[in-house]
Structure 1
């Protein structure tokens, strides 16, 4: 019977030396098949596919987007569908559309740092919460 040293101990994160990869041997020896496409390439190809719009939907969309043809790509069709849902009041569709058009917000406003506009009876206003050193506008 052989005695194991501390270097040969087996346990969590320490597989037996006989089952470890040998030097120069890859964990995936066959690798990915040549010519196979990754997910982003496939997604781009799907978004570039052409979709044929039905005549009743095409006529309605041509009123808003003159020059639109019956064959549009999937990406434009998805964006139009998202815009329709946003117009109907879907907040998640609105956020997704704004994010895809303008990106994520660069700055957020805390309610404690926000300006408060107080309307007075004389139709003048006073701004509270200005950063230090700035003068009040409109007085």
Structure 2
């Protein structure tokens, strides 16, 4: 069985390797005549102007659509309209929308912790009572002082 054409051209003969960068012969036309003028070298490849998924998402989300706020109409991007809809639901009674909105805000702010009002004096006293009760339950019965 004979070697494949490419293997024969690159195999060493008499200790030398044959250079194939300028070779012209059967199945190897000169570079200047390799393709017809205007013909692609990859005719079944990606068509010109085709978009990848990220480009399509970017275009769809930045498209302007009309919305109404009260008695006024204005145009906003699809992304902004979606955010406004989530906020509207969150202000209503949709708990999942509220959680989604708060999580997105935390993500955008760089995982900033949600600020709470802190514990008041009464809250601190209740927590201290719980801690004392738990510590008392963890002590053996003979060590407890009644």
TM-score in terms of structure 2 length: 0.41
Name the structure with the higher helix share: 2
Q: Greater relative contact order (Cα 8 A, min sep 6): structure 1 or 2?
A: 1
Rg larger for:
2
TM-score in terms of structure 1 length: 0.43
